[in-house]
Every structure is written in C-alpha cells, then in structure tokens.
A and B are shown apart, each in its own frame.
Chain A
Amino acid sequence: MSKILLVACWLTSLLFDLSLAQWLGISGVEASLEVTEFGGPRVVIKYDLDEEDLSPESPAYVFVRCSKDSGQHWSLIPSKYLGGNGRGIVESAGGRQIFWWGTVETSFASLERIVFQVRGIRMVRIPGGEFTMKSTPGGGYDGERIGQTVSSLPLFYLAKYETTVAMYADYLNEVGGDGTGWNSRMSDTLRCGIFQENSPPDCRYMVVPGRGKYPVTYVSWYDAAAFLDWCGLSLPTEAQWEKAFRGGKFLDSDSLKQQPNPLPERNYPWGDEEPGEGGIFRCNGRGEKDGYANTAPVGSFPQYSSPYRAGDMAGNIAEWTVDWYTTTYHAGLDGFRMVRGGSWRSFPSGLDAISGATSLPLGESGIMGFRGVLEF
C-alpha cells in the first residue's frame, strides 16, 4: 500500500480566546499514514510541544481526540491505544510523535475525513508513598470509618492548575451544541465568563476577553466529571487531593527517600503560616487584601504552591472530589460529594488541609470548580 499523503489536521478552534489559557502550547500538528512491515498502516501524528520548563516532576499530559467525519463527531483515543513519545505523560518539550493503529478499525484507507485534536494539560507528579492524611474522610461524619484514612498512595499525576474558563469553553464548543454543560450563570463576567450564542443544537461558546485564565465555576460535579472524562482524566479522591496539598513523607517517593518532607503535616500548601500572616497574602481567600475580590487567574500565587508545585490548592475555588460524604439519608438522590480547598469566600481556617465542605452533585456555584488526576 502506498504511503498516503499528508492530510489536513485540525487544531482546536481558538477564535474566541487565543490565550489557550492552560492548554499547553502545541503547534504544527500533522497526521499521516505510514505503512508498517507487519502491522498494516498506522497513523502518525507529529506535533511540537512548545512549553518551557517541562520535567518529570512537572510534565504535560497530552491527549488526542479524533473525528472520523470531518469534525462533526469526536471521541477520545485512550492513551493505552496509542504509542510513541507524544501521548500521555510527556516530560520534555520539542518534536513529538504519536502512533495509532486504529481502534475499532484495523486500518484506515485514508485520512481524508479523519481529523485530530491534540491538547495538553500541565501536571505535577505525586510520587508513590506514605503521607499523613489529617482530615477525617467524609468530612468527619464517618463514624464507622468506612472511608479509611489513607496512609499511602501509588504514583499519580494531578493537574497543576484548576481547569480554566478557556479550557472548559473549548470543551463546550465540541460537546455543548445542545446546551449540555453550560448554564446561564457561567456568563457572570466577574466569576466565570462563558457566554452562549445561538440556540440548540447549534450553540457556540465565547469567553469574555480576559477571563480565559480564570478557573471555571458554576460547574456541577457531573459537569466536572464529564469534562475530565472527555480529557481522559478523572476527579481526584480526597486522599489524592490532600497528599498533593501537603506532600508525602518523602517528596521523591518511598522507594528513593532522598527528600524528606520538612513539614509533612503542614496546615497549608506552603507551610503553617496563616494565609495573610505578616501582611503577605499567599492565596485567594476572603476579602480583597489578597488582590482579588472574586476568583483569581490560576497560578496567581506561584511561590506558595504545594510541595509538588500544584497551584491554588488553598483558596480561589473549592474543588470537587470523587468521594462521597458518608450518609445515606437522601433517598432518591445521589449523596453529597466532598469539596476541598476552600475558595475566595473562605476564612483562613476554611483554607487549611483538613477543611472540607459538602455539596449535592448538581450544585453549581461561583465558588466551586475542579482539576483532574491521571492514575495508573
């Protein structure tokens, strides 16, 4: 079979906000079919990862979405079906390749109607090992300790920043033609900033200029889970969230044990200093003295990140977790989910490592958002 010529690839529509706030810089995406000696033709996707300071501790998570009908319908290609050095966790910048032999199909005759979207999210690496979980699972109401306090977790990766308005709007422009995933409160220009245009089934979403780098809010647990599923990620457990917040006993993993955590039971990501101690504001909490009356752009307090350099773990927006609040008395509805980290409305004590709040999964508010986790 002859080699199929290069066909057009498709970058995610960037027309509304060119900042790509918090999608990583990916350019020059090209897809082609290559003949292999024994395995039939494979798709080769090449791209340039234009992102500084990538490292094993702060890598990119790259995922690919594919359309087989010229962009009308899309689906995620699970990383486990891909090969090459440009999919899943990518630890350095530069030219990258992804190989795909198809999933349902055993091969493609051509890429004429096939288009790919390649996106990346900045992650932080949380090595495996023990940590001190101070909070009581389920917000302290779990008398039977059904949710056991976790003392050790395997390796996982957490998004470095909260999911942004721009990222979520990009997602809506693929899946939200019928209005799914958006509600009118998202158009609040001070606390979110996504407008909807047109009517179902042709809804389109525009980001208010300047709002792309702010955390998306007014998302329910279901909205958050759907977005992360779209990316190939998931919501963190409380244990994962808290380990990322405070750090393990050894920051470089239990198998290496070269970097003991100086404060394994710290109250805040940066240590034990109060958020506003000494007139220095270390996160976005209640009040405007920290510089923000509402939400702040993600990563606004870079020097006060967690031990793994995850930003905004305390304050800004409270983050959905996958865990349940352990009570069973809400018959007919799913139970409450745990929300961690406090928000721009929280008092200092509400920003610490043990604080948690609960919300019904349909809850949408200006103080709640999310970030994703990649597990193995």
Chain B
Amino acid sequence: MKGIGRRDFLKSAIGAAAALKAVSPRRSVSASDKVILGIMGVGGRGTQLAGWFAQMPDVEVAYLCDVNERRFGRAVERVETAQGREPKPVKDFRRILDDKQVDALVNATPDHWHALGSIMACQAGKDVYVEKPLSHDIWEGKKMIEAARKYKRVVQVGTQTHSSLYVQKGIDYINSGSLGEVHLARVHNMMEKPSRKKGPEEPVPAGFDWDMWCGPAPLLPYSPGQWWMDLWDFSTGTIANECIHQIDLARMLLSLGCPTSVYQAGGVHFFHDGREIPDTSIATFEYGDLTLMLEAAIWTPYIKKIPYSIRDSDRFPNWPFTGTRVEIFGSEGMMNLGRQGGGWQAYDKNGELVHSEPGRQGDPRHLRNFIDCIRSRNKPAADVEEGHKSTMFCHLANISYRVGRRKLRFSPESHMFIDDEEANRYLKREYRHPWVVPDKV
C-alpha cells in the first residue's frame, strides 16, 4: 500500500476547519442578509473562531477586539483570507456593542471576562457566543442567564461537542436500556500541561492595555506568560477549562441537572510554580442513586487528548490512555465516549465490544447552530442555562477544595450551599471598579 506523505496525512487529519465549509449554506448572500459579528479576544481560540465564522458565506466578521494590539496581525489575516474583507481591529469591546449593525458578540476572552462581556452584550441587544467555562463563579453565571432571558438574547456556550451527532446516538443508546441501570459515571481529564511560573514584574509592553485586560480581576503587576490561568482571581483553572467539555457530555448522556453534594480531593501535587489551583482533582458528585466522578491531573504525559488523526475519522482512540473520555457504567454494560470527535464504544457484561459509533468534531455544527438560532430566535444547542449547569460542577468542586477539601451539600433551588457560610462566600467574587457585574442586569 502506498504510504501518504506526512504533510498530506497531517492536512487530512485537521478536518474540523475544512469540514466547516460542508455545512455552510451554498448560496450567495446579500450583504443585508449577513449575520454581523464582533470577536472579543483574538488569542488562539478567538482567532480560530473568527476564521471559522468568517468562512460562512452568510456571516461577516466586522470587528476584532483585543486589548493587546500585537494580536491583530495574524487575526486580521485569518479573517480577511476567509471572507475577503478586512475586519476592523479595536481595543475596546464597547465599540462593537455600540455598532447597531452588529448582531452578535463572540466572547473568547479569559474566564474572568466571560460574564461581564456577555452581560453587557445582552444589554446592548447583541446575541452572544461565549467560550467555556461560562463564568468565573456561580453567581455571575446566574446573572448571565438572567441577562439572556431579560433581553431575549441567543446565548450559546462554547461546549461544541454538545453539537456532535454521535453524542445524541450515545444518549439514545443509554436510554434504550442497553447498558442496564446506570449508577456510576467517570469523567476524565488527564493530560500534560506546562509549568507556568510567574516571573518578575516587567514594564507593560507598548500597545497592551493591561489594566483593561485585568478588568474585573485585581490589577496585578505585569509579567509575560499564562501564569494567571492558575490563579483563582482570573481563572477556574486548567482542569476546569478542559473538563467542562467532558462534564457537559456526561450531563447530556445521563440527563443530569445540578448535583446535591460535592467533595474534591487532590491539590497542587506536581507543579511548584506558585499556582493556586490544583493540578490534581478527584471530585465526587452525588445524584441520589447515581455517582459522578471527576478524575483529573495535568502532569500525566502518557495520557493524551484524542489525536487529530482520529477526531474526524472512523477510528477510535486507545481508551485507557485517552485523557478526555467519559465512562458510563451500567448493570449490563459500559460505554467509553470521547470528546472532540472520539466517538463511543459500548461493551457488554462479558467485556465484549458490542457497538461502535465513530465521531466527528462538533465545531462546525455548533457554530452553524448559533448563526441559525440568531435568525430563528430558537434556543441554541448549548444554551446559557445548560452551560451554567455544566460549569457549576467546576465551581462546586473548586469551592470544596478551597474550604479545605470538605464535602459540601448544595441546593439547586437556592443556588447556595446548605449550612455552610464559608463555602457560600465563594459563590461570588469581588469585582474591581468599574468592571462590576451588576445585581440587576
């Protein structure tokens, strides 16, 4: 068999972006019929989203926003190449909100800006696509739902595997009783991440509005790097940023709402770089007769995300070494399901493989769904409320850790911990003026 060249192999493996074109409507679109977007935050993910949206013939990316103007060159090139027109780069996202021609804001900022940016967009009459995790804390997640409902906005959360067809087939399989009674699910998030030590303070580089970048979070001395991703003031943590997808999948598969208790063990075991947020998390969530477990670590090089070569193929990953999988355990069988187009496979009580469902990445359908809902005004696939429910898991686990690794009981109705004043103090953070999420949105 003739082997293919390495470059051809790699190009064929990166299917999601190319596949986006296949689900875009094949018609010429007048300028007045286009959905107009502004992208807030053009780091890696923001630039990727900008390029994908720009490829859609019925979408125009009119603005790119970032407080660091160094990011514009690459992002402008990506968008202009995709849509044939250059977007306008701006440093203040409020310029996007002021433009009545803009239909929606895509919020791809770090976690600490997700809530306020999205709420202000709703207030300005814009629909929102906000990256995961939805919010920096539980209280502001609720405020995001309130804003979306009050202003009747479409708010889609960036849990794109939500839109993958293979997941619905997994739901159907479980609901058919093929696994028997399900009482245990395990969500995995193991991989290798780099150490991120904060260096000494340096002058803020020219062209970078560090004050606005810190926004609602404390204004810390500037130092280059992503050290802020492991600090509570800025982030829900690396684990939460990744496992939110798998948690969302587990919720979908098992129709889970909010858990009634949580306990997190673990801590900062491996990295000695000054981080606050755990690099090892073992969390247990209770749902009556079902237990959901999160097993996460970010210092395990032998366990990896699903390779690109598998994500949009009919092949399956090596499950024991797949860091982004969900395991569903029933009385008659079990299921392994992978994020990012990993598909799922089911095994019977003898451990025999009885069903294989290949997967495709959800990005193309998820983005398309958002645009379609802007037009139809239907609730999107990963509506803000669904995103909040999934993100809650991360917040609950983090709070359990922060109060000393205690088991906490939570009321989904009141959105508060039961008889635990200390834990309830972590429901809402302090905001730095003027970037404050208001009580009344």
- A interface residues, Cβ below 8 angstroms from B: 136, 140-145, 222, 267, 286, 318, 326-329, 331-333, 342-343, 345-350, 352, 354-355, 357-359, 362, 365-367
Contacts and interface: CB of A to CB of B under 8 A. Distances in A.
B65 to A, nearest CB: 13
Contacts of B13: 332-333
A298 B345 CA distance: 56
Given A331-B304, A333-B10, A367 B73 contact: yes
A343 B194 contact: no
A328 B10 CA distance: 17
B331 interface: no
A349 B10 contact: no
Instruction: Point out which of A267, A327, A331, A357 has the most chain B C-beta atoms below 10 A from its C-beta.
Output: A331
A39 B309 CA distance: 54
24 contacts: A136-B224, A141-B196, A142-B225, A143-B227, A286-B72, A328-B192, A328-B193, A328-B301, A331-B305, A331-B306, A331-B308, A332-B306, A332-B309, A333-B308, A345-B73, A346-B73, A348-B206, A348-B207, A349-B69, A349-B70, A349-B208, A350-B72, A359-B74, A365-B78
A328 B305 CA distance: 11
B70 A143 contact: no
Contacts of B193: 327-329
B194 A326 contact: yes
A333 B310 CA distance: 12
B226 interface: yes
Contacts of B199: 136
Given A318-B73, A331-B307, A357-B74, A141 B207 contact: no
A141 B305 CA distance: 20
A350 B7 contact: no
A328 B196 CA distance: 13
Contacts of B307: 331-333
Q: How large is the interface on B (under 10, 10 to 19, 20 to 34, 35 or more residues)?
A: 35 or more
A143 B7 contact: no
Interface string B60-101: 000000000110111011100100000001000000000000
A327 to B, nearest CB: 5
B11 interface: yes
A365 to B, nearest CB: 5
B191 interface: yes
Instruction: Point out which of A342, A343, A346, A362 has the most chain B C-beta atoms below 10 A from its C-beta.
Output: A346
Given A143-B195, A362-B10, A347 B73 contact: yes
B218 interface: no
A272 to B, nearest CB: 11
Contact of A350 (B69, B195, B197): B69
B273 interface: yes
B208 A144 contact: no
A293 B254 CA distance: 55
B70 A144 contact: no
Nearest to B303: A331
A328 B207 contact: no
A365 B81 contact: yes
B194 A144 contact: yes
B70 A346 contact: yes
Interface string B182-195: 00000000011111
A329 to B, nearest CB: 6
Given A136-B224, A331-B305, A332-B13, A345 B195 contact: no
B87 to A, nearest CB: 11
A363 to B, nearest CB: 9
Contacts of A222: 7
Given A359-B74, A362-B11, A350 B207 contact: yes
Given A286-B72, A332-B307, A366-B77, 18 more contacts: A141-B226, A142-B194, A143-B195, A143-B227, A143-B273, A144-B273, A329-B192, A331-B304, A331-B305, A345-B72, A350-B70, A350-B73, A354-B205, A357-B70, A362-B7, A365-B74, A365-B77, A367-B73
Interface of B: 7, 10-11, 13-14, 44, 69-70, 72-74, 76-78, 81, 89, 191-199, 205-208, 224-227, 273, 301, 304-310
A136 B226 CA distance: 12
A146 B77 CA distance: 30
Contacts of A367: 73-74, 77
Contact of B205 (A346, A349, A358): A349
Given A327-B194, A354-B205, A343 B226 contact: no
A113 B392 CA distance: 74
A329 B81 contact: no
A359 to B, nearest CB: 7
Contacts of B72: 286, 345-347, 350
Nearest first, the 8 closest Cβ-Cβ pairs linking A and B are A349-B207, A332-B307, A140-B224, A143-B196, A331-B304, A346-B73, A345-B73, A347-B69
B338 to A, nearest CB: 12
B226 to A, nearest CB: 5
A326 B73 CA distance: 21
A347 B66 CA distance: 12
Contacts of A359: 74
A144 B73 contact: no
Given A349-B208, A350-B207, A143 B74 contact: no
Contacts of B77: 343, 345, 365-367
A358 B45 CA distance: 13
A329 B73 contact: no
Nearest to B10: A362
Instruction: Point out which of B198, B208, B304 has the most chain A C-beta atoms below 10 A from its C-beta.
Output: B304
A345 B79 CA distance: 12
A347 B207 CA distance: 8
A34 B72 CA distance: 59
Instruction: Point out which of B14, B69, B273, B307 has the most chain A C-beta atoms below 10 A from its C-beta.
Output: B69
B95 to A, nearest CB: 16
A229 to B, nearest CB: 15
Contacts of A333: 10, 13-14, 307-308
A362 B14 CA distance: 10
Given A331-B304, A345-B72, A352 B7 contact: no
Contact of B76 (A140, A142, A345, A354): A345
Contacts of A358: 44
B190 to A, nearest CB: 12
A347 B70 contact: yes
A62 B440 CA distance: 72
B357 to A, nearest CB: 21
Contacts of B191: 329, 331
Contacts of B11: 362
Contacts of A136: 199, 224-225
Contacts of A331: 191, 304-308
